[in-house]
């Protein structure tokens, strides 16, 4: 199919892009990598009348920066560039673990990390990683800049806290502690497909005891889904196979998962429990802790 007609804009400054968004509001869409937007336009599931192409704004938006405060990834960083960047490997191990699972290489070569977050697909890896790592989303508009916590950013299926006049300029991940282990595990029909169920998992272990844990599932509901009861069961405990199995049991009995033509809710809950065990074992082994 062909997309509906639209006016194409290619601003040469960020301020120019923000002015276009302010002028056209909900009739405008930002074009980043186009890996989700263009298929949706082709199917007429999206019909923006103004397309604001930000691909000319590399000088301001194509950056990866690491420092004592953490890791920053700008709006024009492609998945593939982040995947192979030494700063991401060193300061964002969960991001590095998630990126090879995002679609196929040609998609990662064009699609952007921040575009994936702005799109807010609940089956995508990066939104779940943002929630599991307590990332901050930096939104810019002609009216100013807002910092939005990932914990509340994803509001529903393809729905986020971004306003129509805002550009998601960057994502900031807090500094990764050496006591933190992370893993991203998932089940997909074929490598590169969206996951039927996935888990972004972070465990902080201090002196042999789990100090904090995040278990954030993708592909199970309208947003990334955190299972706090299972996280609570881990805190204050020494890592062990029995502890991880119990966390998996809690997940598979309490997770609010949906059914669709790809998988039933019961299947998703079962797989989520299995992934909990696997994710916790992987995350702890990455910091030299054996359960
Ligand atoms: P675009 O397609 O350009 O934009 C997507 C949406 O986000 C649009 O509404 C756009 O207006 C908005 N947007 C983009 N950037 C910004 C910004 N900076 N500020 C505000 N709004 C913005 N993704 C996964 O995570 N996992 C997968 O397994 C996966 N499999 C895929 C398989 C296929 C066959 C395809 C085609 C895509 C797949 N994707 C997958 C999607 C891919 O990762 C996209 O790159 C990503 O979803 C969107 O990034 P983009 O830069 O292409 O955004």
Q: What angle do CA 225, 151, 249 make, to 5 degrees?
A: 30
pLDDT at position 94: 96
Secondary structure of residue 137 in the 3-state scheme: strand
pLDDT at 192: 85
Residues 6 or more apart from 56 whose CB is under 8 A from it? 10, 11, 12
pLDDT digits over 120-164, tens only? 999 999 999 999 999 999 999 999 999 999 999 999 999 999 999
Average confidence (pLDDT) over 187-207: 95
277 lines ligand 1 (CB under 6 A): no
Rounded to an integer, the average pLDDT of 179-201 is 95
> Each residue of 215-224: pLDDT tens digit?
999 999 999 9
Distance CA 79, CA 110 (A): 7
* pLDDT above 80 (res 261): yes
Q: Taking all residues of the chain, what is their mean pLDDT, rounded to a whole number?
A: 96
Query: pLDDT band at residue 191, thresholds of 50, 70 and 90?
Result: confident
Q: What does the pLDDT look like over 19-44, one tens digit per residue?
A: 999 999 999 999 999 999 999 999 99
d(CA 150, CA 9): 29
Q: Which atom of ligand 1 is nearest to the CA of 31?
A: 3
| CA 278–ligand 1 middle distance (angstroms) | 28
Q: How long is the chain?
A: 291
Whether the CB-CB separation of 145 and 132 falls below 8 Å is answered with: no
Q: Cα separation of 75 and 273, whole Å?
A: 34
pLDDT score of 186 = 97
Confidence of residue 1 (pLDDT cuts 50, 70, 90): confident
Strand duo 180-187 + 167-174: pairing = unpaired
pLDDT band at 290 (very low <50, low <70, confident <90, very high): confident
What is the rounded distance in angstroms from the CA atom of residue 155 to the CA atom of residue 160?
Answer: 5
Please check the confidence at residue 202 and state whether its pLDDT lies above 90. Answer: yes
Nearest ligand 1 atom to the CA of 193 is 28
List C-alpha distances in Å: 134 to 46, 250, 268: 30, 23, 25
- Looking from the CA of residue 37, the nearest atom of ligand 1 is 2
For the chain, the straight-line distance linking the first and the last C-alpha, in angstroms and rounded, comes to 52
Is 107 near ligand 1, meaning CB less than 6 Å away?
yes
Is 112 touching ligand 1 by the criterion CB < 6 Å?
A: yes
Top mutation candidate among 118, 167, 218 for ligand 1, by most atoms within 8 Å of CB: 118
Residue 291 pLDDT: 78
For ligand 1, atom 16, name the residue with the nearest CA: 115
pLDDT band at 289 (very low <50, low <70, confident <90, very high): confident
User: Which atom of ligand 1 approaches the CA of 29 most closely?
Assistant: 11
Q: What is the predicted pLDDT for the residue at 215?
A: 98
188 vs 192: CA distance, rounded Å: 8
Report CA(110)–ligand 1 centroid distance (Å).
9
For residues 291 and 278, what is the distance between their CA atoms, to the nearest angstrom? 11
Tokens of 136: 């901050």
């Amino acid at each position: 199919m062909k997309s509906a007609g639209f006016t194409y804009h290619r601003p040469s400054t960020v301020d120019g892009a923000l002015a276009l968004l302010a002028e056209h509001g909900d009739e405008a869409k930002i074009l980043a990598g186009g890996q989700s937007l263009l298929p949706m336009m082709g199917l007429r599931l999206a019909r923006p009348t103004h397309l604001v192409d930000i691909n000319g704004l590399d000088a301001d938006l194509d950056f990866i920066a690491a420092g004592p405060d953490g890791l920053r990834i700008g709006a024009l960083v492609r998945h593939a560039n982040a995947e192979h960047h030494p700063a991401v490997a060193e300061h964002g191990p969960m991001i590095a673990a998630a990126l090879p699972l995002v679609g196929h290489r040609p998609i990662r070569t064009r699609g952007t990390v921040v575009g994936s977050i702005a799109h807010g697909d609940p089956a995508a890896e990066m939104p779940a990683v943002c929630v599991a790592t307590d990332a901050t989303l930096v939104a810019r508009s002609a009216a100013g800049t807002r910092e939005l916590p990932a914990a509340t950013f994803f509001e529903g299926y393809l729905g986020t806290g971004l306003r129509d006049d805002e550009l998601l300029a960057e994502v900031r991940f807090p500094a990764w502690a050496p006591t933190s282990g992370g893993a991203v595990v998932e089940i997909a029909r074929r490598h590169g497909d969206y996951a039927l169920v996935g888990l972004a998992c972070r465990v902080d272990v201090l002196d042999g005891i789990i100090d904090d844990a995040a278990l954030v599932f993708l592909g199970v509901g309208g947003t990334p889904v955190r299972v706090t009861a299972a996280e609570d069961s881990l805190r204050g405990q020494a890592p062990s196979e029995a502890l991880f199995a119990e966390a998996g049991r809690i997940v598979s009995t309490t997770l609010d998962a949906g059914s669709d033509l790809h998988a039933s809710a019961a299947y998703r809950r079962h797989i989520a429990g299995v992934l909990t065990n696997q994710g916790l074992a992987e995350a702890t082994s990455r910091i030299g802790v054996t359960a």
